[in-house]
Amino acid sequence: MRVGVLGVGRIGAFHARALGGIEAVEGVVVADVDHGRAEAFAAQAGVEAAGLDKVYGLVDAVVIAAPTAVHVELLRRAADAGLPILCEKPIALDPRIARDVVGYVEARGAGLQVGFQRRFDPMYVAAREAVRAGTLGTVTRVHAVSVDRRPPPPEFVPTSGGIYRDTHIHDFDIVPWVTGVPIVEVTAIGANRGAAVFAENDDVDVSAVLFRLADGTLGTAHAGRDHEAGYDVRLEVAGTDGTHACGGVTEGDFLTRFGDAYRAELAAFVSMAAGRTPSPCPGPAALAAQAVAEACVVSRREGRTVCVG
């Protein structure tokens, strides 16, 4: 098949190169709102470039790696073309709009996979299997950490959606995926310990969330935007019979830590697009993680515990 990659920023460029290493992919076509940038990348990477108005007719599936602000438009156009879609998270910053576009894609029969790459990391897969096998006994607590090595560019912050929608949302997806139990209640607090741009945009650069799962299990999630010592992403699941720990501090960034997971995610998408397997992260799962993030936004602003609705 031929796969289109919409957006050739850092993650889009990674996806385009990684797709070229998948046997079932015979061609990659990149497109970007800045067509010159798409052409320059295509020449460097040995792939094809096309305009955003033409790419849908040239490919069999699309990967949306453009900024969040244009996800909805690109999702609708891909769905109208009947193409399977892998869309980076979040689908949209407004949860109502996100729900609407997921319904739009489903109504047109276009398969949708949302980009939560931790589901494809061997450590997290092993944690999920340990819980499912009962080797940890009854799960009693969960702890998640998601800390970037360096802050994002200042111009990204106003459009990021904030730390809960941009960073913690990975925790809010992986915890239910590993434990098999949804998050139903959150208490979120935050602090500003670094660049002023976060506070200027009603955001925080350090966060802590206490959450409750539907079965009563308690957990915590910590996130941060600046940790020069390394990219720190971890998960610990403890039960009555044992503890399973994932990850730790690594040099580099998210592409260094999760490069193989991204490749596995793309391979799973190609399999889904070919009709061989169902979506490993469908739209409703992404909406569930976003609902937790939205509850955290309310909790921090209003200083109270919030039920996830």
Could you report how far apart the first and last alpha carbons of the chain are, in Å?
A: 39
pLDDT tens per residue across span 247-270:
999 998 999 999 999 999 999 999
CATH 3.30.360.10 spans which residues of the chain?
118-252+284-307
CATH 3.40.50.720 spans which residues of the chain?
2-110
pLDDT tens per residue across span 161-216:
999 999 999 999 999 999 999 999 999 999 999 999 999 999 999 999 999 999 99
Cβ(26)–Cβ(1) below 8 Å: yes
pLDDT at 262: 98
Which single residue is written with the structure tokens 């997806």?
A: 173
Q: Is the whole model's pTM more than 0.75, yes or no?
A: yes
Domain 118-252+284-307 grouped into CATH 3.30.360.10: yes
> Which overall architecture, per CATH, does domain 2-110 show?
3-Layer(aba) Sandwich (3.40)
